[in-house]
Structure 1
Amino acid sequence: MCDARVLNRAHIKGLIAQGQLIVISGKQVLCLDKWIERHPGGRLPILHMVGKDATDQILVYHSPEVLKQMRAYRIGVIDSPWINFEPPISGGTFNLGDQQEKDQVDSKNIAIECQVSSRWFEDLSSVSDTLKLSSSKYSAAKFIDHATQLAVDVDLNEYPSLDAETQRNISINFRKLYQKVRQSGLDKCHISNYGMEVVRYITLFSLFILALRYEWYIVSAVFLGLFWHQIMFVAHDAGHLAITHNFNIDMMIGIFVADFCCGLSIGWWKSSHNVHHLVPNHPEHDPDIQNVPLFATSSSFFSSLCSTYYGSIFPWDAAADLFIPLQKYTYYPIMCVARFNLYFLSWCYLISDKAARLPCSTWTRPFEIACMACYWYLFGYCLVWSTIPSWPLRVAFVLVSHIATMPLHVQITLSHWGMSTTDLGASESFAQKQLRTTMDVDCPAWLDFIHGGLQFQAVHHLFPRMPRHNLRGAQKLVREFCKEIGIRYTIFGFVDGNEVVLGRLGEISKQLDMLTECQMHLAAQL
């Protein structure tokens, strides 16, 4: 339906109150009630955009062909700049008949209670330093609220104002950047770039087979792990449709690489990763940082958060009390065996209703299950059980091959775990949110193959469909964009980036210690 009716804010709010999924794209008002069941990216990405201007998100996540198809869901237009509602999934309330709008808060007028430095390493400790002065005054709930507010204050002091004009200007400049990227051809994939990649994969796999033939089992395990580490970058590319930009072709590539070669579900990865990209580092919404009881990157987890992705509560229990104080020290050991958790999550996803509800599940789901079954037959039975002669060697082979993939897991967490986890509300622009919650890793061009494009995570979050071989070229444009609009572009060397992540983990552990002392102090007063 193509409708040019002008819809005002109260009308749109009323439609959302009736349960309709209303999203703004440009000047168009889209009703996505029928599209949500057909959306290849799942339901949650749409639910997170309800009531918001999703122009930038729709632009960077979809092809021009899909953008044309979305016109069929237009029910009207707006004739003035849009001010975002908080989506229902994030706690926004929409009552029928309620025509009153809350006054928009100008972040310039928000009092900054804590004084912070612009230096990044000082930012990480400023919250704990401020909390330490007054922690004994608070109950657990108040302590968490105060810690969260202090972290918000840090971001408000470090990033552009959240007023509508400032954020609108950021969006306008981002769309200009998007056009520059397209005009420069950086959004196009040149298949020839994968030539050297394929040579590398074949070499590593051949060395694995050669070492296995000579019964150098541990050496063979190392090469197998390195093969997994390298080839999974292709699965990441395919998951973002960054190879051919064709859903079916890239999905088949992703299933072959992730499910058949590595035993990991590309469907699970896309399901969680799509949400991660839209709400990066949000404790309640981003599954990539929901790792309690092993890790907590925000004090918000102290209160047993309910995950909107998993639909369940991450309880703060005795296990969390045991592991979180040590997370700075257990980080690398757990990263060594993180792949086992991905196996578990992959199978949980494939047997869940979430996988069955996708419109493409009629062929992707059985194809994935078949490919993962083949992986376990080849790896588990043919290789580990039938080829390796003894149990000690079998255990060693499995552990070494999986430990060899550890740098990949460190690289994935490096991009976000040291960055902000605060929610600045629905008024924050897409570009600012991505840059505020994501860091890049600086490395020479000749080392790009080790990082697989993940070192350009901030650039990638702004342009998720951009082929990874073009990310370095786009980095210069992103730097210029950040300088122009006054947003900090965060980039560290690999070692410094690790220090930032460890610093954040240590910071949260310190806050937990303060909370424990606070509770003991209050208990003693009773």
Structure 2
Amino acid sequence: MPALSESVANTPDTGDYTGLSRRIRLAGLLDRHPRYYTVKIGLTLLAFAGLCVVFAALGDSWWQLLTAFGFAVLFAQLAFLGHDAGHKQIFRGRHGNDRLGRALGGLVGISYGWWMGKHTRHHASPNHEDDDPDLDIPLLAFTRGQTGGRRGLLRWTAGHQAGLFFPLLLLEGLSLHWTSVQAVWEGKISHRRTEAALLLAHFAIYGTAVFTVLSPGLAVAFIAVHQGLWGVYMGCSFAPGHKGMPTYTDGTQLDFLRKQVLTSRNVRGGRWVDFLLGGLNYQIEHHLFPTMPRINLRRAQPLVREFCATHGIDYAQCGLLRSYRYVLAHLHEVGEPLRRSGEALAR
């Protein structure tokens, strides 16, 4: 997708976000759902505990690679709940959500404070070429502007990024761990001691359990499968929401409504997609109303889509597999100049 043109983006806002917000509020879609989250969190933690028991019971068996797959799924589901807590979707007050978020982050080995800072900047400037940290990934280029000045490995990976995208996601889990440790070590977050203790506990328990129950070779294989699949799952959950959608710069003035809608993409599907993507398939509604409990996003979607249609605002939505095709096509297009120049030098 190209950058948003100033002629389109600077058009006076014909949509009344205040009116939409009032309609959403009157429908009760911003109300908390403590029963839903009690059941959701309880079942997820129960499944996690049950899989830990299975892991211990199986012992040193190659069947453990199946439990590695199960842990990858549960790590992602716990991270989704941490995401909900970070947006104050679970409790009314910030402190309760933050305490839960830090605990869930500790379970999967992510610094909640680091993630909150990064994700808050993303929501403030989604797909902004300079201000959105989710576009700042050294090995990839999401805009033609990011391809300039690249040399060596970074130039090659950006040129071939469409083919490398899914393989690189295998490293996403390790990247989340490493960046979290860096943020805590450098003191870039609040509650540093608590987060440091949680990360230390995570890595100590994880490493001790894996290398005590499994032989060294199997332990390494388990970690590779678990961390790799978790990274792929996380990347495949977040990428459809914005990658391949229009980007913008400071030269393009966007009102809040258009900034959130025009840069986001929804993913169609039934409740299995809701579960699989943790509610991130309703990216437009989530960005317009970040504190809306996940369970209400499905109900809000037709209201928001009707509003956008009435006011002539593009509303992007497609199936899950098609969303990945859009992402890969965009990466392929952005990397084309680097591939061409590389082929010319090879001649």
TM-score relative to the length of structure 1: 0.62
Asked whether the 8 Å contact 2:127–2:263 carries over to 1, the reply is: yes
Asked whether the 8 Å contact 1:208–1:221 carries over to 2, the reply is: no
Of residues 371, 382, 385, the one that matches 2:198 is 371
What is the root-mean-square deviation of aligned Cα atoms in Å? 2.0
The letter for the 2-side match of 1:409 is G
Please name the residue that 1:183 is paired with.
26
Larger mean Cα displacement after TM superposition, 424-433 or 245-254: 424-433
Residue 502, structure 1, aligned to residue 295, structure 2: no
Please name the residue that 1:44 is paired with.
none
> How many angstroms does 1:196 deviate by?
4.2
Q: Which stretches in structure 1 are left out of the alignment for 5+ residues?
A: 1-123, 125-150, 305-315, 356-360, 521-526
User: Over residues 448-471 of structure 1, what are the superposed CA-to-partner deviations in whole Å (9 max), with x where a residue is unaligned?
Assistant: 111111111111111111111111
User: Over residues 366-425 of structure 1, what are the superposed CA-to-partner deviations in whole Å (9 max), with x where a residue is unaligned?
Assistant: 111111111011002x21222222x21111110111133222211111211111123263
The letter for the 1-side match of 2:74 is F
Of residues 427, 436, 443, the one that matches 2:262 is 436
User: Over residues 471-498 of structure 1, what are the superposed CA-to-partner deviations in whole Å (9 max), with x where a residue is unaligned?
Assistant: 1111111101211211110011000000
In 2: Cα distance, 1:402 partner to 1:517 partner: 35
Residue 233, structure 1, aligned to residue 80, structure 2: yes
The letter for the 1-side match of 2:315 is Y
In 2: Cα distance, 1:473 partner to 1:328 partner: 34
> How many angstroms does 1:161 deviate by?
5.4
Asked whether the 8 Å contact 2:78–2:104 carries over to 1, the reply is: yes
In 1: Cα distance, 2:194 partner to 2:74 partner: 23
> How many angstroms does 1:515 deviate by?
5.7
Residue 253, structure 1, aligned to residue 100, structure 2: yes
Please name the residue that 1:327 is paired with.
161
> How many angstroms does 1:202 deviate by?
1.4
Distance 1:281-1:161 versus aligned 2 partners, 3 A rule: closer
Distance 1:253-1:200 versus aligned 2 partners, 3 A rule: closer
Q: What is the 5 A alignment of 1:324-363?
A: 324-355=158-189, 361=190
> How many angstroms does 1:327 deviate by?
0.9
Larger mean Cα displacement after TM superposition, 340-349 or 202-211: 202-211
Give the secondary structure class of the aligned counterpart of 1:491.
strand
Residue 264, structure 1, aligned to residue 110, structure 2: yes
User: Over residues 27-48 of structure 1, what are the superposed CA-to-partner deviations in whole Å (9 max), with x where a residue is unaligned?
Assistant: xxxxxxxxxxxxxxxxxxxxxx
User: Over residues 226-255 of structure 1, what are the superposed CA-to-partner deviations in whole Å (9 max), with x where a residue is unaligned?
Assistant: 210111111000111111131111111001
Q: What is the 5 A alignment of 1:200-219?
A: 200-215=44-59, 216-219=63-66
In 2: Cα distance, 1:249 partner to 1:467 partner: 15
The letter for the 1-side match of 2:229 is A
Distance 1:499-1:232 versus aligned 2 partners, 3 A rule: same
Give the secondary structure class of the aligned counterpart of 2:281.
helix
Please name the residue that 2:314 is paired with.
488
Distance 1:403-1:354 versus aligned 2 partners, 3 A rule: closer
> How many angstroms does 1:429 deviate by?
0.6
Please name the residue that 2:10 is paired with.
162
Q: Which stretches in structure 2 are left out of the alignment for 5+ residues?
A: none
> How many angstroms does 1:279 deviate by?
0.9
The letter for the 2-side match of 1:346 is S
Distance 1:434-1:515 versus aligned 2 partners, 3 A rule: farther
**1 or 2 for the larger relative contact order (CA 8 Å, sep ≥6)?**
2
Of residues 109, 120, 124, the one that matches 1:278 is 124
The letter for the 2-side match of 1:193 is Y
User: Over residues 435-456 of structure 1, what are the superposed CA-to-partner deviations in whole Å (9 max), with x where a residue is unaligned?
Assistant: 1111111111243111111111
The letter for the 1-side match of 2:58 is Y
User: Over residues 153-178 of structure 1, what are the superposed CA-to-partner deviations in whole Å (9 max), with x where a residue is unaligned?
Assistant: x6457xx4514xx22x33xx111111
In 2: Cα distance, 1:383 partner to 1:290 partner: 35
Asked whether the 8 Å contact 1:204–1:224 carries over to 2, the reply is: yes
TM-score relative to the length of structure 2: 0.92
In 2: Cα distance, 1:327 partner to 1:176 partner: 42
> How many angstroms does 1:337 deviate by?
2.2
Of residues 317, 322, 326, the one that matches 2:151 is 317
Percent identity of the aligned residues? Answer: 28
Give the secondary structure class of the aligned counterpart of 1:454.
coil
Residue 402, structure 1, aligned to residue 233, structure 2: no
In 2: Cα distance, 1:415 partner to 1:392 partner: 38
Please name the residue that 1:455 is paired with.
281
Larger mean Cα displacement after TM superposition, 457-466 or 426-435: 426-435
In 1: Cα distance, 2:227 partner to 2:89 partner: 27
Please name the residue that 1:174 is paired with.
17
In 2: Cα distance, 1:345 partner to 1:487 partner: 37
In 1: Cα distance, 2:249 partner to 2:340 partner: 23
Distance 1:341-1:506 versus aligned 2 partners, 3 A rule: same
> How many angstroms does 1:290 deviate by?
0.8
Give the secondary structure class of the aligned counterpart of 1:404.
helix
Distance 1:438-1:161 versus aligned 2 partners, 3 A rule: closer
Larger mean Cα displacement after TM superposition, 177-186 or 202-211: 202-211
In 1: Cα distance, 2:343 partner to 2:65 partner: 47
> How many angstroms does 1:298 deviate by?
0.5
Q: Which has the larger radius of gyration?
A: 1
Distance 1:353-1:220 versus aligned 2 partners, 3 A rule: closer
Please name the residue that 1:289 is paired with.
135
> How many angstroms does 1:223 deviate by?
1.8
In 1: Cα distance, 2:256 partner to 2:209 partner: 46
Asked whether the 8 Å contact 1:296–1:508 carries over to 2, the reply is: yes
